[in-house]
Amino acid sequence: MPINPKYIQLIKSGEIVAFPTETVYGLGADAWNPSAIQKVFEVKGRPSDNPLIVHISSIEQVEDFAFDIPETAKKLMNAFWPGPLSLILIKKPEVLDAVTAGLDTVAIRMPNHSMALEFISRTGPLVAPSANKSGRPSPTNAVHVREDFGIDFPVIDGDSTKIGLESTVVDLSGTEVTILRPGSISKKQLEEVLEMEILESFFQTSIGPKSPGQKYSHYKPKAKVRWLKKSDSLNDTSVLFLLMNSEIETNNIVNYQGDLKRLAKELYDRFRQADIEDFDLVVIESFEDMDHPIVSALLNRISKAIH
């Protein structure tokens, strides 16, 4: 489906437009326009020390942003782009401070979504944080974007996103390769391509977070979230149950029957549902298939919603 030219015009005139990717919807702005990027921070209510991911539509565009692209990055781009993988690279001096929050690195990704790729190929590279107000769950459809930013907000509607959780963020700017945010591309998949061991650093350490986003509590619904306990009564109608292996399916019980991919795709929508329908609590049953590639990302987002 062709992108309505009015959205391209909006980006070119320094406005922001929400668009779909395979992970979550992004809030797009011209990566070379400081006042447009300023608007992204204002509209989202995002702390200015939290840098943005640059979204590109072709691998060659990496060179406009990154310096000294390492072999590891080239291997990962070839294996996973377009796809849910953001790479942290040493930035070129001309990359705007507003994008990187003053860091000497820049995060880049090429989304695997035909509308996103067409849009970016016509606007040029876009910065795009998740298209939610800061502290709200990331949006996985256009309705979610309008919930946060109003009914008239410009959003390219590409239906529900396929993955539902944000991209894996991998830091390639140092001597080691470190996952800063787990996503649907797992540590194991990355290690297979790089043929080396990869580190993980998802949480803030005493020397401060490696990724500024780690210190902010994203993904939090109004309802409390916790894991299922043996003593829980499934008859409690003020609770939204996300179960893994049960026969029951009612208004307030969703049974995923071990389908973790479906849980990932729907998780943020369920959090929003809990808010809209005024559930007090979202209770999630723990998983059996701990080897599934999405497990690490799911546990990370659920534990952030719990805390």
Q: Which residues bind Mg ion (CB under 5 A)?
A: 130
- Which residue among 56, 62, 103, 283 contacts ligand TXA (CB under 6 A)? 103
Element (H, E) at 181: strand 178-181
Binds ligand TXA (CB under 6 A): choice among 106, 155, 170, 185: 106
Among 36, 53, 185, 264, binds ligand TXA (CB under 6 A): 53
Rg (CA), the chain: 19
Query: Stretches 208-216, 224-232, 245-253, 296-304: which one binds ligand TXA (CB under 6 A)?
Result: 208-216
Q: Does 212 bind ligand TXA (CB under 6 A)?
A: yes
- Shorter beta-carbon distance to Mg ion: residue 22 or 285: 22
Q: CA-to-CA distance for 221 and 213, rounded, in angstroms?
A: 17
Please give the torsion angle defined by the CA atoms of residues 149, 151, 155 and 159, in that order, rounded to the nearest 10 degrees. 110
Distance between CA 94 and CA 150 in Å, rounded? 34
Comparison of 204 and 255: residue with beta carbon closer to ligand TXA:
204
Q: Measured in Å, how far apart are the chain's first and last C-alpha atoms?
A: 41
Site for ligand TXA in 124-163 (CB under 6 A): 128-130
182 binds, among Mg ion, ligand TXA, none (CB under 5 to 8 A by kind): none
Q: Which is nearer to ligand TXA, 105 or 300 (CB)?
A: 105
170 belongs to the binding site for ligand TXA (CB under 6 A): no
CA distances from residue 284 to 225, 231, 232, 236, 297 in whole angstroms, order as listed: 8, 13, 11, 14, 15
Interface residue with ligand TXA among 21, 61, 112, 140 (CB under 6 A) is 21
The residues binding ligand TXA (CB under 6 A) are 21, 23-24, 26, 50-53, 84, 86, 88, 100, 103, 105-107, 111, 128-130, 166-167, 169, 180-181, 211-213
